[in-house]
Structure 1
C-alpha cells in the first residue's frame, strides 16, 4: 500500500491531504462533466441527474468506508462517520453552494416535495430497521444494542428500489429532449469510470491521513469520525455541488446532496450487512444522531421551501447549525453532555 511507503509524519500527511484534495477536484470534475453529458444523451431531467447519476458516483467513498468497517468488525464507526457525513452534506454543502452561486440558489417543487420528503422517509426507515434489530435480535450490552441481519437489511434496500422506480417514472413523464450530436458515448462512460476510480483511491488516502493526524494530535476517535472524517468523505459531493451551483444548476446541486444521502442510508449501510451477514449496532448512539440528522433535514427543507430558493442569510443559518452540531459532539466527547450512550 502507498501509505506503507510514505514516512509517518504530520508534514507528509498534510502533503497527502493537499495532493488528495487536488486529485479529488480533478476526479469530481470528470464525474460532473460526464454525468451532465450522459444525462443529456439519455434525456434525464436535472433532478434525476443530480439525485441518481452524480449522487451515486460521489457516494462511493462513504460506501467503501462502510464496507471496510463491516469487514474489520467496527461497523458502528462506519455508521457514525456516515451519519456525520450526512449531517455535513445537509447543512454545509447547500450552504456553501448557496454562497457560491450568483444570487439565491434556485430550488424547485420537485426538490422540496419529492427529494427532501423522500429523504426524511429514508431516515425514518433506517431508524425503524435499527429498532427491529433491537427488538428481535437484541445484544447484551451496557447500552441498547441489536444485530442487523440480512433480512432486516432488505427493508431499506427495497425502499431504495422504490426511489429508483419513482425516478424512472419521472424520466418518462419529463419527456426531455436528448442531445446526441457530437457525443462519444464510450468516451463519456470512460471519463465517468475514471472519475469514480480517482475519487475512491484518493479519498481512501485522504481519510487515512486525516485519521493519522487526529491520532497524532490526540483527537478522540468519535469526534474525528463524525466531523473530520465525515467531511473528508463528503469532499467529492462538496466539489460537485459547488461546480453545479456556480454554473447556475441549483436543482442538480441540491439533488446531488439529497440523492447522495438517500443512497448512503438505504444502500451503503445495508450492503455492509449483506456482505458480512450480521453486524451489531449501538441503538443508544445511532438514534440521537439520526435525531440530529432529522432536525438538520427539516431545517434545510424549511429554508428551501421559502421562495423555492436558498439565500445567503439561510446559508449562514445552516452553517451556524453545523457549528452547533460540532459543539455538541465536542461536549459529548468531553463528557459535558451525555445524550449518546456507549461512545
Structure 2
C-alpha cells in the first residue's frame, strides 16, 4: 500500500508517487556513488571492485528486500521471477543506456571481461544446479512434476559460491597498488553518506514498487508479465542510475562492474537469503529453467560485445536494447498464450 494508505489509492496518486520516488532514487544513487568512490579510494580498491562489490551490494538492496518480503508472504516464486527479470534488465538495458549517454564507447578491461562476466555466468549455472537438486532430491508431493523444495542446506550452495567470489576480489585488492591520496578522504563522512544513500533508495524503491503494483492492479496487467518486466525494472532503477552516472563521468569499468556485480549478488545472495529466512520454499523448475536460459543468452551477448575491442560502442548499445525488446515481446507472448515455452507461466 502506497504511503500507508494515507492518500487515495487511485492512478493519479500512483503516477505522482512514481515521479517523486524516481527523483528520490536519483538523489540516493548520487550519494551512494559518491560515498563508494571515496571509500574505495580510502581503502585502496580497484575500479572494478568498487563497481562489482561496494556499489553493487548497495544498489542491489531493493532486489534483496523484494525476495525476502515475497518469501515471507509465501510468494517466493514471484520474488525469484522479479530477480531474474531484473538481472535480464541489468545485462541488456543498463549497459545499453550507459553506451548511449556517452560520446565515446564505454571502456571495459580484461579483468571485467574475463573475471566478472565469466564468474557471473558461473553464478547463473550454480543457481540452476541448486534448483535442479531441489527437484531431484526434494520433489513437492502432489505438485507439478518439476517442482521441488529449496531447503536451507541447498541455499548454502550459492552462498558459498558468493564467498568464493568475495575471496577472489579480496585477492585482487591485495595485488592492487592504491592511489596515494586515499588518506585524505573523510572516511566517517563517507560511511554516513553511504548509509543515507541506502536509506533513501530503500524507502523510495519500496514506495515505487507499491505504486507500480497499484497501477498493475488498476490496469489488470498479468502477474507474470508485471513481475519480470515492470517490477523488475522498478527494482533495477538504482543500478541503472548509478551505472549511467558512472559511464557519463567516463568510468566505464565501474559502470559495467556494477551491472555484473549486482546480478551476481542478486542470484547468489538475495535468493538463497530468502530461503534461509523462511525455510523450505517451492520452486517450479519448468518456469525457472527457461528464464535462467534467457539470462544466460543475454549474458553471453554482453560478454561477446565487451570482448570485441574491450568496449561497448553505440551500435552495440542499440543491439542490447533491441534484445531486451525481444525479451519483453517473448514474455508478452507467453502471457497471452501465443508462445508456450514456459509451462505454467
TM-score (norm 2): 0.98
Q: Aligned partners of 1:285, 1:187: CA distance in 2, in Å?
A: 45
Q: Identify unmatched segments of 5+ residues in structure 1.
A: none
Identify the residue that residue 261 of structure 1 maps to in structure 2: 263
> What does 1:1-343 correspond to in 2, within 5 Å?
2-139=3-140, 140-343=142-345
> Does the aligned pair in 2 maintain the 1:331–1:337 contact within 8 Å?
yes
Q: Aligned partners of 2:284, 2:180: CA distance in 1, in Å?
A: 48
Task: Write the deviation string for residues 202-235 of structure 1: whole angstroms up to 9, x where unpaired.
Answer: 1010011001101111111110110010000000
> Does the aligned pair in 1 maintain the 2:112–2:253 contact within 8 Å?
yes
Task: Write the deviation string for residues 152-194 of structure 1: whole angstroms up to 9, x where unpaired.
Answer: 0000000000000000000111122243354221111000001
> Does the aligned pair in 2 maintain the 1:42–1:178 contact within 8 Å?
no
TM-score (norm 1): 0.99
Task: Write the deviation string for residues 102-153 of structure 1: whole angstroms up to 9, x where unpaired.
Answer: 2100011011100000000000000000000000000132351000000000
Cα distance, 1:3 vs structure 2? 3.1
Cα distance, 1:342 vs structure 2? 1.8
Q: Relative to structure 1, is the Cα distance of residues 314 and 294 closer, same or farther in structure 2, using a 3 angstrom cutoff?
A: same
Q: Aligned partners of 1:148, 1:79: CA distance in 2, in Å?
A: 12
Task: Write the deviation string for residues 299-326 of structure 1: whole angstroms up to 9, x where unpaired.
Answer: 0000000000000100000001000000
Question: Number of residue pairs matched?
Answer: 343
Q: Aligned partners of 2:237, 2:228: CA distance in 1, in Å?
A: 14
> Does the aligned pair in 2 maintain the 1:43–1:179 contact within 8 Å?
no
Query: Tell me, what secondary structure is at the counterpart of 1:299?
Result: helix
Q: Identify unmatched segments of 5+ residues in structure 2.
A: none
Report the RMSD for the aligned CA atoms in angstroms.
Answer: 0.9
Give the stretch that moved more between structures: 134-143 or 332-341: 134-143
Q: Relative to structure 1, is the Cα distance of residues 143 and 319 closer, same or farther in structure 2, using a 3 angstrom cutoff?
A: farther
Q: Relative to structure 1, is the Cα distance of residues 72 and 21 closer, same or farther in structure 2, using a 3 angstrom cutoff?
A: same
Q: Aligned partners of 2:25, 2:4: CA distance in 1, in Å?
A: 17
Q: Aligned partners of 2:309, 2:113: CA distance in 1, in Å?
A: 11
Q: Aligned partners of 1:340, 1:311: CA distance in 2, in Å?
A: 33
Runs of 4+ in structure 1 over 4 Å off:
none
Give the stretch that moved more between structures: 211-220 or 229-238: 211-220
Cα distance, 1:30 vs structure 2? 0.1
